[in-house]
Structure 1
């Protein structure tokens, strides 16, 4: 069936040509029993529906619109990958969406039905989620999409966009659980923290989480790869040594960072909902509760700590020479102010254990925590940098408290 006249492809900005190099989307389309899926949707609403010839995809999932006879649209999200890890990830994402929708007013789609396993109970034949259609696009897709703006938010749109993201960020951080972990729905319908893939858990304390992270973290580049990539740069040996020593030094610095404040116990929960990849194309995937030290800026406001890079990239005032980087530093300060103003408006009884406090703005303004969080992400991503220099700076500013992990 052709796309309904009630839908404008230009405003949706779904890709006319999909990026599907291994034909995963085509395979998922063929394996999905669309009549069975439409029958399920029809039974749920009491109105017949058909799949539209309009679909798009990401790396792991594809989405296709279903239209009911009365014009209502639902989205059928179909998994394109089927490993045990992919199944666990999909289940966690569904549980996170259910929890966020129940506990906040964030614009999360309503889930009507889902199956994460392919077994005798799944007539559709593939892992799927049936959910409401939320009009609009991700911020990455508006204005012509990545091909037009290459993922850079136009300067004229930034203030309004940042305020909208800050409002979501405040709500997200106000959602908390007693332990650190992924979001998991229990058989009785309650929500709790579950294990984090590749790390374990759930964890009762931030210290326990950091210890487990250090036990499992690995730098993804070999020493010879580091030297080859740096093409004999003078600091290559320093970077190699810094990478080699990072985890042992991390074990010493992390507990001191957690326990530095005698007047607040940041080692224990409740812990806020965080997003390790909080980008304008992604809000749900990977969401979990994390230590306060890992509450970070959205990815589009990422900035490298001064001590992580080359000293000659910065002026006597400590600010970067690069104009784009200086602008990002300025926008980060403005974002913290936006968050603080929004937090000040949150008064009285509300949804979420953290509603009305200043946790998010405090965490974002905490240079120590932001530096450590950046280093953890950079290490896992294989980013070359002077980790020892960054940790030296942290140790200089931290009190001599806490035991090594």
Structure 2
């Protein structure tokens, strides 16, 4: 038997998870049994396991490492809310999206070994068991947000942005004829199905946006918004929707945006894996954005408060540099220029940010 592989020290919580009152009721013993059974079914061996005392928690999930006795680690990623039809369908869509990206690209995505999208396994919540990637997210690395406030260290910024450009270019090259959630058919093929809480699939961007608007919660009601909106802007929106209704696919796959929170890195800021695919879907090109680190508030949204500060101008330069990285990735992959064209369109970027 090979000697145990050292597990890197990650920026995870080390307090007693059993005392974390913010977590839903989770049967950890049932999770261990489930992992052992899955391992037996996949490898044909009985391999006891234990859960790491360390854990990490985000807005929607909690994760713990699963340590087997054969120098093998998995990751348990569990939802933080009790199962609902929408959340369970969302997890299933995430599993299918990860499978599609692994199948149709070279993007490093953790392998999913098993999942419970119903919450009926006895664990108490919906979850998935995945490959364990020995690294922190870029957001959690180098001291975490409290130290770097979400900014990539200057010495790694160019390399990290180039890697994000490659990933975004490859993700958007995975295309489907309709807008919706990625699903796996009974024949094992990838297709597009309805998006939880929105519906679909949709043939055009306009159809999707109208369905989204019917379910979205706005801070003001239409009776308040419409009198405040200049007539020419209302007419412009109607004209844009009318034009978009004739725009059919193919549409691009997306994780909304690639961010420091979804990229697992090593100590040299090389991306080891891309995680957290719960928001992945096939969407309109009009919603493609820069990564969060290059996000800016469009001048039109700032109105009279907008000023061309040095910081704003530096961000414009950084965004232009990122577009060049995307163009290089498109050329290297012998792809069309759809992504770089969308990122270069200021009007589309303003719309995507507002959305």
**3-state SS of 2:118 partner:** coil
Within a 5 Å distance, the mapping from 1:63-82 to structure 2 comes to 63-81=63-81, 82=83
Which residue of structure 1 lines up, in the alignment, with residue 255 of structure 2?
Answer: 275
TM-score, normalised by the number of residues in structure 2? 0.84
Shift, 1:221, TM fit: 4.8
Instruction: Decide whether aligned partners of structure 1 residues 126 and 207 sit closer, same or farther in structure 2, where only a CA change above 3 A counts.
Output: closer
Which residue of structure 2 lines up, in the alignment, with residue 35 of structure 1?
Answer: 33
Distance in 2, matches of 1:111 and 1:245, equals 50
Which residue of structure 1 lines up, in the alignment, with residue 163 of structure 2?
Answer: 164
1:28-51 Cα distance to aligned partner (Å, 9 max, x none) = 255744234323324423251412
**3-state SS of 1:364 partner:** helix
Shift, 1:328, TM fit: 1.4
Distance in 2, matches of 1:80 and 1:30, equals 14
Within a 5 Å distance, the mapping from 1:217-366 to structure 2 comes to 217-221=216-220, 241-242=228-229, 250-256=237-243, 258=244, 267-282=247-262, 284-314=277-307, 320-321=308-309, 323-347=310-334, 356-366=335-345
**3-state SS of 1:25 partner:** coil
Within a 5 Å distance, the mapping from 1:194-233 to structure 2 comes to 194-221=193-220
1:64/1:75 contact within 8 Å kept: yes
Instruction: Decide whether aligned partners of structure 1 residues 307 and 70 sit closer, same or farther in structure 2, where only a CA change above 3 A counts.
Output: same
**3-state SS of 2:201 partner:** coil
**3-state SS of 1:129 partner:** strand
1:135-158 Cα distance to aligned partner (Å, 9 max, x none) = 222111111111211222233321
Instruction: Decide whether aligned partners of structure 1 residues 161 and 185 sit closer, same or farther in structure 2, where only a CA change above 3 A counts.
Output: same
2:36/2:49 contact within 8 Å kept: yes
Task: Report which of the two has the higher share of strand.
Answer: 2
Q: Decide which structure has the larger Cα Rg and report it.
A: 1
- The size of the alignment, in residue pairs, is 335
Distance in 2, matches of 1:222 and 1:213, equals 16
Which residue of structure 2 lines up, in the alignment, with residue 383 of structure 1?
Answer: none
Which residue of structure 2 lines up, in the alignment, with residue 400 of structure 1?
Answer: none
Shift, 1:254, TM fit: 3.1
Instruction: Decide whether aligned partners of structure 1 residues 277 and 340 sit closer, same or farther in structure 2, where only a CA change above 3 A counts.
Output: closer
**3-state SS of 2:59 partner:** coil
Distance in 1, matches of 2:302 and 2:14, equals 41
Which ranges of structure 2 fall in alignment gaps of 5 or more residues? 263-275
Distance in 1, matches of 2:158 and 2:47, equals 43
Which ranges of structure 1 fall in alignment gaps of 5 or more residues? 224-236, 260-264, 315-319, 348-355, 377-405
Which residue of structure 2 lines up, in the alignment, with residue 60 of structure 1?
Answer: 60
Alignment of 1:23 onto 2:3: no
2:165/2:326 contact within 8 Å kept: yes
Distance in 1, matches of 2:286 and 2:41, equals 46
**3-state SS of 1:310 partner:** helix
Which residue of structure 1 lines up, in the alignment, with residue 118 of structure 2?
Answer: 117
Query: Which region of structure 1 is more displaced relative to structure 2, 205-214 or 178-187?
Result: 205-214
**3-state SS of 2:219 partner:** coil
